[in-house]
Amino acid sequence: MQEAFSLVDKGFDLYSSEDYDVGMQFYDQALKISKELKNDSLVSIIHTLKGHIHLRNGKNKDALQEYTKGLEFAEFTEHEELEVKANAGLIVILRRMNRSEKALNIALRSLEIIPKTNMYRKGAHVSILVLSSEVYLAREEYDSTLFYVEKALEISKELSYKEAILDLYIKKGMVYYHKKQYNASLDYLLKAKDILTTQEISNKAFPIINTTYYTASCYYEQGLYDKAIPILEDGINNFEETDFFKPPAIRAHLLLANCYNEKKDYEKGSFWQNKYMELNEAYQKDKDQTIDIIHEKETNQLEQKITDLENDQRQAKTRLFIFLFIISLALIILTYGYIKKQKSNNVVFQNLMQEINQLESINKQTVVKGLTKKEIFIDDQKIKEIIKGIEKLETQEYFLKSDCNLRTMAKKLKTNTTYLSQTINQYKEKSFTEYINDLRINYVLKRLQEDTKFRSYAIQSIATEIGYKSSYSLVKHFKAKTGINPSFYIKSLNKQETASEIKV
């Protein structure tokens, strides 16, 4: 058994130093020994650790499988601490997959378990509280976000857990930014910046990016463009190469373009707008993990081949052949992947158009994914009034307003947020956030189909028109519901319209 523990320790050291492939080999060896010895607790731990490696590598499906196995063995052994550790990984995966309801249920379940374990008021307890706050933040339920942030902050300060304190200050800054309380937001963001500059912090990339983006955003919303611009330019100039594909870093480019446009410096505004569009397009493209890995390896090989060619002229012909072969192979793979993706998108588009046309003839029911409103019979007069009010707001297209959220809608319907949320969960069979996003995507699908002028708008303008604050939000929710990007949908509609005109 000591050998298995030793292998796990080696694997964890390699994971910490980001040598994931070798770390995985040690975990696999330890897993084999643990299964032979029937040590279910250690098997659970190893599956969870393997899930962490897949998570870091962006392999969500593989990570989900490992966390699920870890959870199965944890439940089998009735070891609650192991269950919490596996749950932490599951929460991250489910949040990435936009399954916030499931992620939240698991987070709350873990918080019920923790007081009965040795994790109570320790680092693991903080982690689950932070994950819970992140789920609520993604659902735009800001009061609940602050509730869990404060709980995590209290414990983190007791533990002098500076990385968590930094992250939690940034989250408070984000919440107050979304609540349009910009001075309060800046207070916490500046506290975070002070920690970043005065204390030794590991993994600074995301904290720096988020602090940069939201600090500048606060100044932008207050019209203080001269304060926002140097923060953004300094941040962008100091981002690592890999940072440019993180959403806040991408949005920082758009924010900088908007700052210059507000100052009527359209040349610089156009420059940063183009940078944003390049990064956003690269980010939005579906990335096949296998092709990505092949492409990365081939790129490294090409660089090595070039160096070898310079140092050894005698093998120039052979290496040039290899060089060209690898380029050709990479191009073939990438071209094949692109064509395959385009064909898949065309099939999705045609199916989507059929759904839209079919559903139009059935009393104009909900468009996306064939979802229809469930008829239920309710005796409670109060609930009837809320449902009637919800339907009225749908007719008035209130969901298109940028300030449409659970709190403002509850106020309009003269009820509280909890009651409204429960009513929508029962009547619409979805969370409030999912309900609003469905209405917006249904609306934009139909309007883009009917309004050619609307199709000519920039994605950011379309997003603003239907209540989103960024093009990223529109693209994320549009693709989650339809399987394709809005730009592809618009292009396909235009192509279809042109083909119809030619036939006529």
Tell me the Cα Rg of the chain: 26
State how far the alpha carbon of 233 is from the alpha carbons of 193, 239, 264, 322, 386, in Å. 16, 10, 17, 41, 48
Q: Residue 338 has what pLDDT? A: 60
Q: Is the pLDDT of residue 391 over 60?
A: yes
Kind and range of the H or E run holding 161: none
Is the pTM for the entire model greater than 0.85?
A: no
Q: Is the pLDDT of residue 423 over 80?
A: yes
Give me the residue label for tokens 């020994």.
Answer: 33
Q: For residue 206, what are its two tokens?
A: 């995301």
Q: Are 378 and 354 in contact (CB under 8 A)?
A: no
268-293 per-position pLDDT tens digit: 999 999 998 888 887 776 333 322 32
287-327 per-position pLDDT tens digit: 333 223 223 333 343 334 334 434 544 555 566 677 777 87
What are phi and psi for residue 378, nearest 5 degrees?
-125, 130
Q: Residue 289 has what pLDDT? A: 31
State how far the alpha carbon of 355 is from the alpha carbons of 350, 366, 371, 445, 446, in Å. 9, 10, 10, 11, 11
Counting Cα atoms < 13 Å in the Cβ hemisphere of 439 gives: 25
Q: Residue 502 has what pLDDT? A: 54
Q: Is the pLDDT of residue 333 over 90?
A: no
Q: Are 167 and 130 in contact (CB under 8 A)?
A: yes
How does residue 229 score in pLDDT terms, banded at 50, 70 and 90?
very high
Q: Residue 14 has what pLDDT? A: 82
Superfamily of domain 379-503: Homeodomain-like (1.10.10.60)
Q: For residues 502 and 222, give the distance between their C-alpha atoms in angstroms, rounded to a whole number.
A: 51
Q: Taking the domains of the chain in order of start, what are their residue ranges? A: 2-202, 289-348, 379-503
Q: Is the pLDDT of residue 363 over 50?
A: no
148-193 per-position pLDDT tens digit: 999 999 999 999 999 999 999 999 999 999 999 999 999 999 999 9
- Looking at residues 396-419, what average pLDDT do you find? 90
- Cα-based torsion angle of the residue sequence 475, 234, 58, 144 in order, rounded to the nearest 10 degrees: -70
Kind and range of the H or E run holding 263: none
136-152 per-position pLDDT tens digit: 998 999 999 999 999 99
What are phi and psi for residue 427, nearest 5 degrees?
-80, -40
| Assigned fold of 2-202 | 1.25.40
Q: Which range is least confidently modeled, 338-352, 358-372, 433-447, 471-485?
A: 358-372
Q: Going by C-beta distance under 8 Å and a sequence separation of 6 or more, which residues neighbour residue 384?
A: 378
Q: Is the pLDDT of residue 503 over 80?
A: no
Angle between helices 60-77 and 40-56 (to 10 degrees): 160
Q: Is the pLDDT of residue 26 over 60?
A: yes
Query: Mean pLDDT over all residues of the chain?
Result: 82
460-484 per-position pLDDT tens digit: 999 999 999 888 889 989 988 888 8
Nearest to 487 by CA among 288, 345, 334, 340: 345
- Looking at residues 215-222, what average pLDDT do you find? 96
Give the DSSP per-residue string, 203-215: --HHHHHHHHHHH
